[in-house]
Amino acid sequence: MSPQITVSLGEEILASAPKDQTETVEGNYYFKEEAVKDKSKFKPSKTESTCPWKGLAKYYDYVNSDGKVYKDLVWYYPNPKKGAEMVDGRWAFYKSKHPDLHIS
């Protein structure tokens, strides 16, 4: 049985999945969208960035139960480049930008 990988922010669990159902790329866990617990709290951000080998990344802000906004908490690749298909449709959580975020 694969260990569970859980993403939390304070007391709120944002995503959870068995490790073998995530993809690990460059030290980041990429979760299937269905592993995200309450997608209604994620709002599309205007932020975009480009990875040379994965392509265009888009972001989501997260609004917690108290109304606090965590800018660009999640990134994803809507149309990853050839060779990066493993991240297609998956969400990664921006731990280095948000020290309150815990992934374990």
CATH code of the domain containing 41: 2.170.150.40
Per-residue model confidence (pLDDT) at position 36: 98
If residue 102 lies in a helix (H) or strand (E), which one and from where to where? strand 101-103
Q: Domain range for residue 70?
A: 4-103
What DSSP character marks residue 103? E
Looking at the whole model, is its pTM more than 0.85? yes
What are the DSSP E strand ranges found in 27-68? Answer: 28-32, 42-51, 55-63
Per-residue model confidence (pLDDT) at position 14: 98
Q: Alpha-carbon distance 82 to 75, whole Å?
A: 18
Query: Mean pLDDT, 10 residues at a time, over the chain (104 residues)?
Result: 94 97 97 98 98 98 96 98 97 95 96
Helix (H, G, I), strand (E, B) or coil at 41: helix
Report yes or no: 62 and 42 within 8 Å, Cβ to Cβ.
yes
Which pairing describes strands 69-76 and 90-93: parallel, antiparallel, or unpaired?
A: antiparallel
Domains held by the chain: number? 1
Per-residue model confidence (pLDDT) at position 2: 86
